[in-house]
Structure 1
Amino acid sequence: MSTVFTKIIDGDIPGRFVWADDVCVAFSTIAPITDGHVLVVPREEVAQLTDAPDELVAHLSVVAKTVGAAQQAAWGAPRAALLVAGFEVAHLHLHVLPAWDESSLTFANARADVPGDELDAAAERLRTALRDAGHGAHVPAALGSAALAG
């Protein structure tokens, strides 16, 4: 059975995509801890980090680093944070978010009431920062699409 993330990647459920390549995608979470919080998710369904092949973990880490640098540029954050938990969905995903201090890095701070237009604006801000950093080939052409940019 497909995970909710596979359904988002396949377009069965809408997503706010900021990155897409042959191996993974990154899209906004609907419950961000900070503005710009995204999930880096492999296209392949892998249940958890420790089940993933090393090459996949390496690729996800490089994408998370790239997205994190764009988040720092877009929001002026001193750090990009990376969280790997995976209890809510059994499909490996890396939480990448702009961060100002360690005390805010808790899922207890996730906001489930962020209006869609604010999520859209944050995704577009990140997409712009990724393009500005030279990663336009991996920025999907439009929100809601996991297709590769062309």
Structure 2
Amino acid sequence: MSKTIFEQIADGEIPANILYEDETCIAFMDAFPLSKGHTLVIPRKPIENIYDLDEETGAHIMKVVTKMANALKSTFNPDGLNVIQNNGSYASQSVFHLHFHLIPRYKAEYDGFGYEWQSDENLHSDEEKKEIARSIREQLNA
């Protein structure tokens, strides 16, 4: 099976603008950034998506995501920051190696990212919400 581009970056086989690395993960500039400072944080080991992520690696990656978010804030003082992680092609995952996008957002410039939250308060009744919550809690306790 061939390596993903992110595995190749983590293994030093192809160049990247690396910002941080340790034995568990690596952070680097996105090759096709949506905004100034667009950064990716990935585990070194091949993990396809969040469903395959172990708790120890996940906890460490979140520490690095937080560290990188604060570095981006200190460096560029963005007006906001999106942290995005996609799972599966239907959710827009295009590289099947777990990765977190840190996308600084700036009011004064177009950043090429059209993310907008559009919720529907009528999607589920209160009873449906209770049933959905019960079903999820059952899985957590299974």
Q: Gaps (5+ residues) in structure 2?
A: 88-92, 116-142
Q: Which residue of 2 aligns with 1:91?
A: 97
Matches within 5 A, 1:41-80: 41-80=42-81
- Greater Cα radius of gyration, structure 1 or 2: 2
Question: In the superposition, relative to structure 1, how do residues 95 and 22 fare at CA in structure 2: closer, same or farther (>3 Å)?
Answer: same
Q: Which residue of 1 aligns with 2:16?
A: 15
Q: Shift in Å at residue 49 of structure 1?
A: 1.1
Within the alignment, does 1:106 sit opposite 2:113 as a pair?
Answer: yes
Question: In the superposition, relative to structure 1, how do residues 7 and 33 fare at CA in structure 2: closer, same or farther (>3 Å)?
Answer: same
Q: Shift in Å at residue 48 of structure 1?
A: 0.3
Q: Gaps (5+ residues) in structure 1?
A: 109-150
TM-score, structure 1 length as denominator? Answer: 0.64
Question: In the superposition, relative to structure 1, how do residues 105 and 63 fare at CA in structure 2: closer, same or farther (>3 Å)?
Answer: farther
Q: Shift in Å at residue 28 of structure 1?
A: 0.8
Distance 2:11 2:114 in 1: 26
Query: How many residues align structurally?
Result: 107
Question: In the superposition, relative to structure 1, how do residues 28 and 22 fare at CA in structure 2: closer, same or farther (>3 Å)?
Answer: same
Question: In the superposition, relative to structure 1, how do residues 61 and 107 fare at CA in structure 2: closer, same or farther (>3 Å)?
Answer: farther
Instruction: Tell me the secondary structure at the aligned position of residue 6 of structure 1.
Output: helix
Letter in 1 for 2:54: P
Q: Shift in Å at residue 104 of structure 1?
A: 5.7
Q: Shift in Å at residue 50 of structure 1?
A: 1.6
Q: Which residue of 1 aligns with 2:134?
A: none
Does the 8 A contact of 1:68 with 1:96 survive in 2?
yes
Instruction: Tell me the secondary structure at the aligned position of residue 58 of structure 1.
Output: helix
Distance 1:105 1:94 in 2: 18
CA RMSD, aligned part only? Answer: 2.1
